[in-house]
Structure 1
């Protein structure tokens, strides 16, 4: 028996770090090999097949898309003064309406009303309204809605702004 002042020393077994090091080296090798195969193109992205661009066949249409003939009807260019006093400037606005071919004559007959709505809306704007970054998007949406009300539902598909110059 050991004496009371002596402590018994027993060696504590530490686990080996060898499996940890082997796992780390193998994971680095695997990651490097995976990166190289993707980077070099040995395994193509997208499931292993390259998309093939097909040349459009003349006269063929996509069966999923409805075939609607669209025409563009020009709106008479409008010049309005914007602002007050010394800050007065002029806005030149020109646009075209995307219309189904069947409604072209109806929209052309209503062009004086469309120009009136355009002129009235643009005259009501302030200079600060036009200098905003989102002004053109808002202006396009507002004018398109007003023109659709004038011509009737389903006659005008879109409003294309061709000229928007603020002097």
Structure 2
């Protein structure tokens, strides 16, 4: 009778022993898929062999085009004025295009700055908002390719 009854403590290690390799295979397979999917390595690269030195992308150096200084009188009767100097970061291939379209860029800048509420200049974070809006207007006039960034070199309210 004692031989007919199985000890439940003996069955638990056998199930764990069979489950451990299955769980390890699933984890390793998932990790391999994730690393391939994220681009850390490529299975095709293992069979392709070496093609020599890796290609190095050449990046043209940054060129800064100065926008003429903008001076605006702020409405409101307090006699305040805004002075703004900006540089557009581009590359050497687009420099002539940026300089050619500078009157349109100036028009877009002055149109935006004259429409800003004078009370907004007293608020915190206005410089970041103005910079973001000027970048948007610059890209609208010049396109996405020529404009890398916009730098505010002078911002003065007196």
- Asked if TM exceeds 0.5, the reply is yes
**Distance in 1 separating the partners of 2:57 and 2:154:** 31
Counterpart for residue 78 of structure 1: 70
2:61 equivalent among 55, 69, 88 = 69
- Structure 2: state its 5+ residue gaps: 1-54
Helix, strand or coil for the counterpart of 2:73? Answer: strand
Runs of 4+ in 1 over 2 A off after TM superposition: 63-68
**RMSD of aligned alpha carbons:** 1.6
How far off its partner does 1:83 sit? 2.8
- Structure 1: state its 5+ residue gaps: 1-62
**Distance in 1 separating the partners of 2:110 and 2:58:** 35
**Distance in 2 separating the partners of 1:122 and 1:141:** 12
- Residues 73 and 99, structure 1, Cα contact 8 Å, conserved in 2: yes
Kindly tell me the number of residue pairs found equivalent between the two proteins. 104
- Which has the higher Rg, Structure 1 or Structure 2? 1
Question: Structure 1 or 2: larger helix share?
Answer: 2
| TM-score (normalizing by structure 2) | 0.62
Helix, strand or coil for the counterpart of 1:138? Answer: helix
